[in-house]
Amino acid sequence: MTNSGNIHKGWFSEICPMWEGIAVSLKVEKLLYSKKSRFQQIDLYQTRSHGRMLVLDGIIQLTEQDEFSYHEMMAHLPLLSHPNPEHVLVVGGGDGGVLREINRHDDVRFIDFCEIDQEVVNVSKQFLPSIACGFNDPRVTVHIRDGAAFVRECSGCYDVIIVDSSDPVGPGEILFKSQFYRDLKHALKPGGLIATQGENFFLHPDWVEKLMGVTRSLFPIYAYANIIVPTYTGGHIGICMGSLGPKLTAPARPVPQMLQSQLKYYSPEVHRAAFVLPYFAEKILKDKGV
């Protein structure tokens, strides 16, 4: 089995200098796809226990077994925090998982989807059909280009912007800069809100502090939510949220029964609970004025 380098005796390990000394490992049975695109190394594995797994530059982006937790929360927390989200932008998330979840909302009328790497979309459509199933929805316009540049050109366009980035190494790095957050704010309609991939407070308290510090400096309402994702190193990941109006920590409206019946992770109770952080994480944010 050839690969991006982190295979030993049939086990893939996610080894990364950003989380030195710790790695998630999955037993893999077959490498289904492996190619370097213009932007990154893309690998797609069949795992023993977690279905198929998408890996970019050696970092796990999703497994079929637990992708629902991240994708549901990245989409439904912001969309259900907004009273009437009609215009939505997704930056990143070329696998289509967040898009699939947004499409479940009948009240959303227009979705711009901006991903830098066409190859990630192609591979996901080919190998992850249950995830990359939303691209043909008539409400969706796909833009294959740099998300930071796309956002910079928008002014007052969106009710909700969701940034499903990889980690701040490689092509995702620019999506963690303060200027990008300023551009996100500028791209919102009055009363709009953003949700961005917010890293992990066990492994990266410095990143969480930085992202929440920027969010706090720009938005009158801000909050950090927590999601359990067993196959991300550290076992969880956060969402940084900033709002120009709606409160974030509870749903703004009832969850339609049809929507709830399709979900496995999100519920109104989980929405509220996601913002309750362990004492040390709360303290990190408070001590830094966040």
Q: Kindly list the residues in this chain that would bind ligand SPM in the complex (CB under 6 A).
A: 19, 59, 61-62, 93, 95, 97-98, 164, 166-167, 197, 199-200, 203, 232-234, 237
261 is an annotated ligand-binding site residue: no
Nearer to ligand SPM, 12 or 19 (CB): 19
Nearer to ligand SPM, 103 or 246 (CB): 103
Distance CA 128, CA 45 (A): 11
21 is an annotated ligand-binding site residue: no
Q: State residue 195 phi and psi, 5-degree precision.
A: -140, 125
Least CB distance to ligand SPM at residue 146 (A): 17
Nearer to ligand SPM, 131 or 223 (CB): 131
Least CB distance to ligand SPM at residue 3 (A): 18
Burial of 176 (0-12, 13-18, 19+ CB in 10 A): buried
What is the token pair recorded at 225? 């939510």
Nearer to ligand SPM, 93 or 246 (CB): 93
Nearer to ligand SPM, 191 or 280 (CB): 280
Nearer to ligand SPM, 91 or 193 (CB): 91
81 is an annotated ligand-binding site residue: no
Least CB distance to ligand SPM at residue 45 (A): 15
57 is an annotated ligand-binding site residue: no
Least CB distance to ligand SPM at residue 46 (A): 18
287 is an annotated ligand-binding site residue: no
The residue type at 104 = R
171 is an annotated ligand-binding site residue: yes
Q: Which residues are catalytic?
A: 164
8 is an annotated ligand-binding site residue: no
By DSSP bridging, strand 188-197 and strand 236-243 are: antiparallel
3-state secondary structure the chain: CCCCCCEECCEEECCCHHHCCCCCEEEEEEEEEEEECCCCEEEEEEECCCCEEEEECCEEEEECCCHHHHHHHHHHHHHHHCCCCCEEEEEECCCCHHHHHHCCCCCCCEEEEEECCHHHHHHHHHHCCCCCCCCCCCCEEEEECCHHHHHHCCCCCEEEEEEECCCCCHHHHHHHCHHHHHHHHHHEEEEEEEEEECCCCCCCHHHHHHHHHHHHHHCCEEEEEEEECCCCCCCEEEEEEEECCCCCCCCCCCCCHHHHCCCCCCCHHHHHHCCCCCHHHHHHHHHCCC
Q: State residue 111 phi and psi, 5-degree precision.
A: -130, 115
Binding positions for S-methyl-5'-thioadenosine are: 40, 115, 146-147, 171
Binding positions for spermidine are: 71, 95, 164-167
Binding positions are: 40, 71, 95, 115, 146-147, 164-167, 171
